[in-house]
């Protein structure tokens, strides 16, 4: 029968009175922070920490499937309590939810039903809980989140669809990253592979070292080599090894340096940022390959019209320039977030601007080469489950004499028919045949090339000889002409001499 306002006042006074005499303190951690758009980091960390460390002690649990996760996440149910201990202090956690005071429909997610955690402890542990326990919970919770998360493969959206107010219209969109490649399945020289794994491990552990030497915690790798030698497979193996997300940056969809910076800022730590076939996106002099302009160029060329020129590396805000890309890799912005790996792949290392791939930017250059025998053994073990076979000797010899990519070798080791049972002998015999064929084709191509080169050299020699002959002939003609001229000159001379002589004679006679 009491009016609502009075009832509310009464309960506030009662709470105040209780907390005045109570030796316990409460800290509330709400699901949505002040900005209300996204769930608070602290709440998520507490949720992860409690589900991992304390849920075993809770009586009521709830199970959920995370948004991007395939794993079942078990956490403390609402209105349940769990007890934790930290450095001798006992701490109680309560999960609860609060309904809104008004019934106004909210457009913000979670506003109509707000969940929160409450941590309760004795007042004498105040400094311990605030200064050490909560930061510990935050760190542990984040680590649990990283361990449990489904890793993601991102790609950049075209800037025309960016909209911060609509979910799913961010600068990146993603799918779960599910590439199964690992360093165990990657076919390459074992020593090279070990060196790369060592390098990655050292990077992962080197947070303090990078801070000490004053460098941003990031590392650049340049993967170069012919098509099908495993550059993409290497990236997937690295991501699986480090447990990082992958951002696959499609540079041709980025309009200018500002967009590039924005994309970089929106990436998270513990990630690999990849630009594949970098030589196809930005050329040697930092020019942007404008596909439209190039198409128009070729059309105009065909029509006989003057061609459009591709703009040089000038930052007028209409394209990504080489300097924009260099800033992306190691400018001031590149330090935000930390723990990032940047990878460029290319089939033509020599086409790249040296500034782009110098050490410090691309710290490690990894050459992915044609299949060696050691790499073949990894493929044979992966695809056929064998480490020895009588054909291995011949395959070793052929691989030393022939260039075949691991992709082509792998293709030959795959069972070709669904109905047929996998037959290792047939697969290896097929590979031997393919290697022989490739060897013959390479020899034929080489012979053709040599014949063409010889033909060209002969043609050039002939042309040179002809030119020399022509020059000689011209010289001969010139000499003849000269001789004729000198003959007439001398006759004239003789005549004039005669005349002189004659006149001299006449004079002396006189």
Ligand X SMILES: Nc1ncnc2c1ncn2[C@@H]1O[C@H](COP(=O)(O)OP(=O)(O)OP(=O)(O)O)[C@@H](O)[C@H]1O
Name the CA dihedral angle for 76, 77, 82, 86, rounded to a multiple of 10 degrees: 30
By CB under 6 A, the count of residues binding ligand X is 15
For residue 238, the minimal CB distance to ligand X (Å) is 12
User: With respect to ligand X, which residue has the nearer C-beta, 75 or 346?
Assistant: 346
User: With respect to ligand X, which residue has the nearer C-beta, 278 or 282?
Assistant: 278
Q: At what angle do helices 322-330 and 257-265 cross, to 10 degrees?
A: 20
Restricted to residues 53-92, the positions that interact with ligand X (CB under 6 A) are: none
Q: Which residue is nearest to ligand X (CB)?
A: 230
Alpha-carbon distance of 445 to 434, in angstroms, equals 16
Q: Which two tokens stand for residue 466?
A: 């002809």
Identify the CA nearest to 28 among candidates 18, 40, 13: 40
According to CB under 6 A, which one of 251, 395, 410, 427 is a site residue for ligand X? Answer: 410
What SS3 class is residue 85?
A: strand
User: With respect to ligand X, which residue has the nearer C-beta, 55 or 368?
Assistant: 368
Name the CA dihedral angle for 38, 176, 205, 374, rounded to a multiple of 10 degrees: -170
- Three-class SS of 359-398: CCCCCEEEECCCCCHHHHHHHHHHHHCCCCCCCHHHHHHH
Cα separations in angstroms, 503 against 138, 489, 494, 497, 509: 126, 20, 14, 9, 9
Restricted to residues 155-194, the positions that interact with ligand X (CB under 6 A) are: 186-188
Alpha-carbon distance of 453 to 467, in angstroms, equals 20
CB atoms within 10 A of CB 436: 14
According to CB under 6 A, which one of 406, 413, 427, 431 is a site residue for ligand X? Answer: 406
For residue 232, the minimal CB distance to ligand X (Å) is 4
User: With respect to ligand X, which residue has the nearer C-beta, 246 or 410?
Assistant: 410
Q: Which two tokens stand for residue 4?
A: 């609502």
User: With respect to ligand X, which residue has the nearer C-beta, 55 or 222?
Assistant: 222
User: With respect to ligand X, which residue has the nearer C-beta, 258 or 347?
Assistant: 347
User: With respect to ligand X, which residue has the nearer C-beta, 242 or 410?
Assistant: 410
Restricted to residues 215-234, the positions that interact with ligand X (CB under 6 A) are: 227-233
For residue 132, the minimal CB distance to ligand X (Å) is 47
Q: Any contact of residue 337 with ligand X (CB under 6 A)?
A: no
Span interacting with ligand X, options 149-157, 213-221, 334-342, 406-414, rule CB under 6 A: 406-414
Alpha-carbon distance of 15 to 11, in angstroms, equals 6
For residue 153, the minimal CB distance to ligand X (Å) is 14
According to CB under 6 A, which one of 155, 297, 347, 372 is a site residue for ligand X? Answer: 347
Span interacting with ligand X, options 133-141, 142-150, 402-410, 492-500, rule CB under 6 A: 402-410
User: To which H or E segment does residue 164 belong?
Assistant: none
User: With respect to ligand X, which residue has the nearer C-beta, 133 or 344?
Assistant: 344
Q: Which parts of this chain interact with ligand X (CB under 6 A)?
A: 186-188, 227-233, 347, 368, 406-407, 410
């Amino acid at each position: 029968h009491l009016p609502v306002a009075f009832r509310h006042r009464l309960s506030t006074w009662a709470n105040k009175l209780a907390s005045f005499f109570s030796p316990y303190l409460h800290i509330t951690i709400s699901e949505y922070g002040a900005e209300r758009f996204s769930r608070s980091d602290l709440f998520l960390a507490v949720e992860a920490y409690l589900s991992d460390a304390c849920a075993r002690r809770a009586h009521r649990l709830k199970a959920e499937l995370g948004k991007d996760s395939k794993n079942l996440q078990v956490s403390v149910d609402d209105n349940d309590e769990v007890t934790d201990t930290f450095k001798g202090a006992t701490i109680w956690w309560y999960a609860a939810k609060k309904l809104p005071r008004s019934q106004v429909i909210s457009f913000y997610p979670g506003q109509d039903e707000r969940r929160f955690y409450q941590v309760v402890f004795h007042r004498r542990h105040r400094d311990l809980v605030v200064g050490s326990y909560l930061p510990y919970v935050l760190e542990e919770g984040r680590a649990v989140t990283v361990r449990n998360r489904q890793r993601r493969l991102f790609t950049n959206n075209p800037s025309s669809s960016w909209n911060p107010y609509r979910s799913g219209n961010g600068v990146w969109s993603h799918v779960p990253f599910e590439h199964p490649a690992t360093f165990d399945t990657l076919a390459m020289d074992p020593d090279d592979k070990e060196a790369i794994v060592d390098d990655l491990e050292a990077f992962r552990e080197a947070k303090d070292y990078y801070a000490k030497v004053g460098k941003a915690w990031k590392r650049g790798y340049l993967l170069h080599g012919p098509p099908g030698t495993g550059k993409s497979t290497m990236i997937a193996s690295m991501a699986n090894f480090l447990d990082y997300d992958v951002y696959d940056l499609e540079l041709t969809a980025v309009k200018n340096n500002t967009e590039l910076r924005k994309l970089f800022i929106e990436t998270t730590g513990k990630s690999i940022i990849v630009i594949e076939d970098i030589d196809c996106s930005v050329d040697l002099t930092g020019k942007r390959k404008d596909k439209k302009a190039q198409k128009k160029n070729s059309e105009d060329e065909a029509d006989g019209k003057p061609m459009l020129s591709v703009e040089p590396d000038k930052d007028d805000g209409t394209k990504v320039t080489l300097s924009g890309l260099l800033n992306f890799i190691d400018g001031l912005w590149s330090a935000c977030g930390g723990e990032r790996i940047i990878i460029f792949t290319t089939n033509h290392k020599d086409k790249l601007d040296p500034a782009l791939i110098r050490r410090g930017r691309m710290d490690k250059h990894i050459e992915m080469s044609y299949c060696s025998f050691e790499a073949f053994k990894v493929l044979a073990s992966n695809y056929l489950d064998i480490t020895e076979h009588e054909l291995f000797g011949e395959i070793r010899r052929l691989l030393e004499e022939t260039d075949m990519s691991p992709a082509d070798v792998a293709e030959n080791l795959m069972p070709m028919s669904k109905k047929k049972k996998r037959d290792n002998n047939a697969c290896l015999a097929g590979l031997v045949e393919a290697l022989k064929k490739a060897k013959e084709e390479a020899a034929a191509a080489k012979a053709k090339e040599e014949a063409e080169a010889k033909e060209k050299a002969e043609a050039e020699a002939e042309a040179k000889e002809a030119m020399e002959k022509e020059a000689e002939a011209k010289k001969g003609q010139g000499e003849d002409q000269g001789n004729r001229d000198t003959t007439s000159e001398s006759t004239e001379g003789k005549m004039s001499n005669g005349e002189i002589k004659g006149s001299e004679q006449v004079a002396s006679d006189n």
